[in-house]
Every structure is written in C-alpha cells, then in structure tokens.
A and B are shown apart, each in its own frame.
Chain A
C-alpha cells in the first residue's frame, strides 16, 4: 500500500468513528432525520466561512457551519412548537431553504474555487492526501486527518465525561431535568457536536453520505444489543468495517470511495437486519412459528386438563377432535413429550405432574393476566415473553 492509500483509509476510519458516536444518541433520540437536515443546512455556514477566510480548512469554517447546524435545530423546533406542522414537516421546510442559500452563495461568489456542488454532496476523499499540513517545509500529513482527528478526540473526551448525563437525558428527560442535568443543555451540546462532526466529515464524504455514517452503524448496533455501551462499541466497529471495506470496494470497482462506503453500510445493515439474534427478521419469523406451536401445545394441554375420560385422550381421537392436521398433531405431541409435559400409555395421553402445573399456571395467566407466576416459564417458552 502506498502512503496516500493508507492516509485515505485512516481518514475514512476516523470519520466513521467520529460519526458513529453522536449517531448512537441521534438514533436513540429518534432524531436521525435531524442529522440529514444538519448535513445540508451547514452549507451556507461553510460558504460564509470560506468567503471570509478563503481557506477551506480554516477552523472558522467549522465554527460557522456548526452555528448553522444549531440554527437548523432551533428553527425546526420553533416551527414544530407552533403546533401547526409536525417535526418531519418542519425538518423538510428548514434544511432545503438553508441549503439553497448555500448553493446560491457558491454560484454567486465562489464559482472559481474548489467548492463545487459535487464536492459538497459527495465529498472528495480520494483527493484528501493532496491537501497537506505544511509548517515551514515540514510535512505534517494531510490536513483532513488533523481536522477529523481533533474532532474525534474532542468527541471522545466529551463522551467520556458526559456519558451518564447523555444517557439519562436520552432515556428520561423529565428525570434528567429533576436531577439537575438540563436536557436542553445536553440536547444542544449533542447537536453542536453532531454539527461539528458533520462539517469535518463533509469534506471527506459529502453532505449526503455523512448521514449514512451517522445513522446506519447505530441502527444496526441497536438491533444487536440491549446495552448502551455495547451499542456504542458495535456502532464504531461497523463504522470501521464499512470505512475500510468501502475503500477497497472502491479500489477494485474503480468507483467513488464515499459511495462504496455507504454501499457497504447498507449491506451491513441488511445482514444485521436479517440475522440479528433477537430482533432480526429471521429470528422474529422463527419466534412467531414457535409461538404458534406453543399456543397449539397449550390448547392441547387445556383439552387434556378438561377431559379425564380416556376416549377423549386417545391419540387418534385427538387428531379428529382438535381438528389439526396430522403433521401438526405429531409436532405438538413431540414437543410435549420432549418437555416432559405428557405421558403416552397405550395410545392414551395424560398430563405429567409438570404438565399439570404448566397447565394450571397457564390458565391462571390467561384468566388473571398477571405474569409473576410464569416468570420461570419465559425461559423455556416464547409464548410468555409477550
């Protein structure tokens, strides 16, 4: 690998991690679309900053852009508060207007410089190694990496310091406020960090794809874990995988790096969506099938419970009586046998002690709808997991 190749991958990884961290909280706060809005409406901030400094890497650009990011959030909330439109409409109203102001500003004032719409939308990761930080004659590496690295380190420090506060205000804003952790301060803190990250990442992956880097890793991680810290780690991991995978996909396809990264993100999410152990599509389908089977089992056992006479409990009779298909009946019988719930003696089925207890508890649950007593059954049976 050549040095520029390593540098590009390094930038992609740093951008991915920096995006994944605020992304987790945006997803949990159901604010994914806000990141889309921010990524577009920071454009006028960037252009204004550029017009003042004439330097695309000036910190002033990032500051201006971040201010516009926060303005976006304020405007969306102000419009929403009128009660006249819902949040999604408010978002749809605010960011195109701000973005278009940025587009007009570029067209009127910055036509002759490297700040064209393509670069804004898709980023120019492949060119990042050309833009170097030079102090005197000394080459300190790519500017992009310095900018994103600084943003990432600041984000990590803030995350480390305020993890608990972000957690409680995301989960329960009322409690957070009562405990003295102002949800408003935390909200705007998060929005500022998101804006700054978007601005930094924007140079590398563009305004559209930065949204994918924020949302997709967090959304995939959300399906895999019920622990916030693990969700954070998984998101970061997904970000890194897609950054590196995307780079090499682009390399072999000779295509856009940011496009490839996003494609990998989409594929990653799809795989997780299908195969996640608990929330994934396949598991859910299996669980539904299992639940159906268990409902049948329960029906069968209630029948046994209701009938002491042997004619009602003969294997063949059951087939006709409960009106199930033979295959189904066999499956249910097998399941009951496997779980030690029934005994079959001379083709007469009867409940075991365990089966009797199970049936009593189940009846109790159905009648009273209180589930304290069936807690221990939840481990064995999907049916009772609600």
Chain B
C-alpha cells in the first residue's frame, strides 16, 4: 500500500451485555482517503467509530492511530457525533458549540481566549454559518446544526476526521456543502471516515469504502470493491444500486 496507515484496528470485538456488536474486526485506514463505512442498521458502524475514539471500551483487540494508542493521538483526531446524540435545547450558541472543538488543544482548566474564538469564527465561515454565530442552537435547522458540528470538527484542525452520519436529516444544499468540505479536507491530505447510509452516493462522494455487518465484509477502494457481491454479503439481499461511473 502506498500510503501510511492512519488507523489500524486489530481483532476488535465489542459487546453490549455480552452480545457482540463488532466481531473480530481487522481494519486498516490508509492516510488521505475519504472513506465511507456502510452497513445495515445495527451493523456496528457507530460502535466502530466510538471504539476507535475510546468512547466505548472493547472486550478485545487493539487500535492505533498513526501507530500510537488513541490517548496519545487525541489532538490529531476530530469527531462529529450523530446529531441526535446531544440536547439541542442546551443553553448555548452556535459559536459556543464550535468553540468546544478547541477544548481538546487547551486541555484541562485552561479557557478559550481570543485566538480560539477567532478559529471558531473562521470555521463558522467555512461552513457558511457565520451570520448565525449568536443564534441559540435550538433555533437552527437540522442542516444548520449539522454544519455547526462540522465546524466544530474543523476547528480541531486534526489529521483524521470521524463523522457519524453527517448527512442525516440535512437538505440537498447542506449535503453538497458538507461533501465539498470533506473533499477539500482529503485534498489537503487529511483522512476522513464517514458512517454513511445512502448507498447511491458512495461512488460519487467517497474513494474508499468499508462494508460492515458485525463482521468486516470488505474494505478497499470504491472502484475495486463497491459491487453487488459485497453489497449482497453486507445487506443480505440482492442490493441493486446504480453505480455511477
């Protein structure tokens, strides 16, 4: 493989109440790819990301980011959780949420200052949300909330971005805006890993794909492995998808 490995997952098994959600996963994510993780509901896609980020403790296996454990590489990793995972009625503004992305660099106790606020504003501008900086987050549309989450990840200025269904419940224009930013990230050498649902858009948006259904079905370049055979193995039914050339 020409690129160095950004994320390496070895023999990962995760279980909830002793029922495996991920079973013996081996996965290598090369640096600089824009990867989709696809699979049916309950396939463990979110769990895989959360395990890599140390949010969930696996019962077996090891994970490294650029050959070191996650704890040592935190600053190189940004995370966009599912939009539904937070309470949008929380008393805070768009800018404040983006500012949270700088907390990791600051570490404990230290507070964000002028420099961090400027970074947050820049990130807001990049996602086209600058004019909403002072808006309470519950007053934003679903697409705008997702952009805020993306801006928060951008402000982390990481090397690897993990995103859990960033296109969920967003309108077409936001989807395009988000994918353009993701492609830009890849262009500047970043690695982007996205839990994705819409199989139609996989060939258009991504250059790398992982099929997951509790076990890893396949991983590799979209042009090589995004085919009926793998889709059928992953989803259990003959999945007819229009693959755009």
User: How distant is the Cα of A132 from the Cα of B212 in the complex, in angstroms?
Assistant: 68
Using Cβ atoms and an 8 Å threshold, which residues of chain B touch A168? Answer: 100, 103
Indicate whether A164 sits within 8 Å of B53 (C-beta atoms), given known contacts A171-B97, A172-B86, A228-B92: no
Q: Name the one of A165, A172, A178, A369 contacting B74, with C-beta atoms under 8 angstroms.
A: A178
Using Cβ atoms and an 8 Å threshold, which residues of chain B touch A162? Answer: 108-109
Binds A, one of B77-85, B179-187, B190-198, B224-232: B77-85
Indicate whether A228 sits within 8 Å of B91 (C-beta atoms), given known contacts A175-B81, A180-B104, A369-B171: yes
Q: Is B189 an interface residue (CB 8 A)?
A: no
Interface string of A137-181 (1 = CB under 8 A from B): 000000000000000000000000111110110111011011111
User: How distant is the Cα of A225 from the Cα of B152 in the complex, in angstroms?
Assistant: 23
- The distance from the CB of B134 to the nearest CB of chain A, in whole angstroms, is 10
CB <8 Å contact, A171 and B86:
yes
Q: Is B168 an interface residue (CB 8 A)?
A: no
- The distance from the CB of B172 to the nearest CB of chain A, in whole angstroms, is 7
Using Cβ atoms and an 8 Å threshold, which residues of chain A touch B141? Answer: 371, 386
CB <8 Å contact, B79 and A178:
yes
Q: Is B157 an interface residue (CB 8 A)?
A: no
CB <8 Å contact, B100 and A225:
no
Identify 25 residue pairs between A and B in the complex whose beta-carbon atoms are under 8 Å apart, listed by A's number: A28-B87, A162-B109, A163-B111, A165-B108, A167-B100, A168-B103, A171-B86, A171-B90, A172-B81, A174-B79, A174-B81, A178-B79, A179-B74, A180-B104, A181-B108, A226-B92, A226-B93, A227-B91, A227-B92, A231-B91, A368-B171, A370-B143, A370-B172, A372-B143, A386-B139
Interface string of B62-103 (1 = CB under 8 A from A): 000000000100100101010001110011110011001001
Using Cβ atoms and an 8 Å threshold, which residues of chain A touch B104? Answer: 178-180
CB <8 Å contact, B103 and A178:
no
- The distance from the CB of A119 to the nearest CB of chain B, in whole angstroms, is 37
Indicate whether A177 sits within 8 Å of B171 (C-beta atoms), given known contacts A222-B91, A226-B136, A386-B141: no
Q: Output the nearest chain B residue to A179 by Cβ-Cβ distance.
A: B104
Interface of chain A residues 363 through 386 with chain B (CB within 8 A): 368-372, 385-386
Q: Footprint of A on B, CB under 8 Å?
A: 17, 50, 53-55, 71, 74, 77, 79, 81, 85-87, 90-93, 96-97, 100, 103-104, 106-109, 111-112, 136, 138-139, 141, 143, 152, 171-173
Q: Output the nearest chain B residue to A232 by Cβ-Cβ distance.
A: B91
Using Cβ atoms and an 8 Å threshold, which residues of chain A touch B111? Answer: 163-164
Interface of chain A residues 327 through 386 with chain B (CB within 8 A): 368-372, 385-386
Q: Output the nearest chain A residue to B128 by Cβ-Cβ distance.
A: A372
Q: Name the one of B136, B138, B173 contacting A372, with C-beta atoms under 8 angstroms.
A: B173
Additional A-B contacts beyond A28-B91, A164-B111, A228-B90 (17; CB < 8 A): A30-B87, A161-B109, A163-B111, A171-B90, A171-B97, A171-B100, A174-B53, A175-B79, A178-B104, A180-B71, A180-B104, A222-B91, A226-B91, A226-B92, A228-B91, A228-B96, A385-B139
User: How distant is the Cα of A28 from the Cα of B143 in the complex, in angstroms?
Assistant: 24
User: How distant is the Cα of A177 from the Cα of B86 in the complex, in angstroms?
Assistant: 14
User: How distant is the Cα of A163 from the Cα of B71 in the complex, in angstroms?
Assistant: 23
CB <8 Å contact, B55 and A178:
yes
- The distance from the CB of A300 to the nearest CB of chain B, in whole angstroms, is 26
- Name the 6 nearest CB pairs between A and B, nearest first: A226-B136, A179-B104, A370-B171, A178-B79, A174-B81, A178-B53
Interface size class of A (residues with CB under 8 A): 20 to 34
CB <8 Å contact, B91 and A181:
no
Using Cβ atoms and an 8 Å threshold, which residues of chain A touch B71? Answer: 180
CB <8 Å contact, B54 and A178:
yes
Using Cβ atoms and an 8 Å threshold, which residues of chain A touch B77? Answer: 178
Using Cβ atoms and an 8 Å threshold, which residues of chain B touch A175? Answer: 79, 81, 100, 152
Q: Name the one of B90, B107, B152, B173 contacting A370, with C-beta atoms under 8 angstroms.
A: B173
Of A161, A177, A226, A231, chain B has the most CB atoms within 10 Å of the CB of: A226
Q: Output the nearest chain B residue to A230 by Cβ-Cβ distance.
A: B91
Interface string of A222-239 (1 = CB under 8 A from B): 100111101100000000
Interface of chain A residues 20 through 34 with chain B (CB within 8 A): 28, 30
Using Cβ atoms and an 8 Å threshold, which residues of chain B touch A178? Answer: 53-55, 74, 77, 79, 104
- The distance from the CB of A352 to the nearest CB of chain B, in whole angstroms, is 26
Using Cβ atoms and an 8 Å threshold, which residues of chain A touch B109? Answer: 161-162
User: How distant is the Cα of A162 from the Cα of B107 in the complex, in angstroms?
Assistant: 11
CB <8 Å contact, A180 and B50:
no
User: How distant is the Cα of A28 from the Cα of B93 in the complex, in angstroms?
Assistant: 15
Using Cβ atoms and an 8 Å threshold, which residues of chain B touch A163? Answer: 111
Using Cβ atoms and an 8 Å threshold, which residues of chain B touch A180? Answer: 71, 74, 104, 107
Q: Output the nearest chain B residue to A371 by Cβ-Cβ distance.
A: B141
- The distance from the CB of B107 to the nearest CB of chain A, in whole angstroms, is 8
CB <8 Å contact, A177 and B55:
yes
User: How distant is the Cα of A163 from the Cα of B108 in the complex, in angstroms?
Assistant: 10
Using Cβ atoms and an 8 Å threshold, which residues of chain A touch B100? Answer: 167-168, 171-172, 175
